[in-house]
Amino acid sequence: MQQTICPVCKKTTLLFSMLTREIPYFGKVLILSSKCSSCGFKHNDVFNLEIKEPTEFRVEVKNEEDLMIRVIRSSSGTVIVPELGIKIEPGPQCQGAITNVEGVLRRIEKVLKYQARVQKGKKLERVKKLLEKIKRMIEGKEKFTLIIKDPLGNSGIISKKAKKRKLKKSEISKLKTGYILFNVNP
């Protein structure tokens, strides 16, 4: 661990750590983590240390046991739950995470609970229906599909039940990476 200057509060109270781990079915990854003890700023990311190709992972979640399937989402991964109509795309502040299927649902639930406090009318009703559906999914009472598409190949779903395939060039061009890219020759 190393202490450095926080990009938010500018104090030298940002703890920064890096560690490598070998993750079954996925390979060697670098986990970056930082947290400021003064202002609470935090940032996490996961990078694959092996060269990977643009990939889609897909798993059918059929029961409570499947909720424990390990999920790695790098800052370039797009998460999709078709049954909810939800697509989570990366942006410049996107953070990577190592979690499980339930953890992905809990993060979506957290955002929707916030939306339930600020929405009105038909939008509020839609949010409430999504929250009810997520509750059934978390209880293992409703089947769904979890998809992660990563143009940099740094995300994954770690399970023998997961299906993996290479993304086509046409699919890659439609995905956001979360990185700002500069075109030198416009």
Quote the tokens at residue 139. 């209880």
- pLDDT recorded at residue 181: 41
Residue for token pair 């143009």: 151
CA-CA distance, 180 to 45, in Å (whole number)?
16
- pLDDT recorded at residue 100: 97
Q: Which helix (H) or strand (E) holds 131?
A: helix 121-138
Nearest CA to 78 out of 22, 151, 26 is that of 151
pTM: 0.76
Instruction: Please state, as a whole number, how many other Cβ atoms lie within 10 Å of the Cβ of residue 134.
Output: 22
Q: What is the DSSP letter of 184?
A: S
Residue for token pair 């190709």: 53
User: What domains can be seen in the chain, in order of their start residue?
Assistant: 1-51 (2.20.25.420), 52-186 (2.60.120.1040)
- pLDDT recorded at residue 26: 62
Q: What is the pLDDT along the chain (186 residues), one digit of tens a residue?
A: 789 999 999 999 999 999 999 876 667 888 889 999 999 999 888 777 876 899 999 999 999 999 999 999 988 899 999 999 999 998 766 777 889 999 999 999 999 999 999 999 999 999 999 999 999 999 999 999 999 999 988 899 999 999 999 999 999 988 876 544 433 333
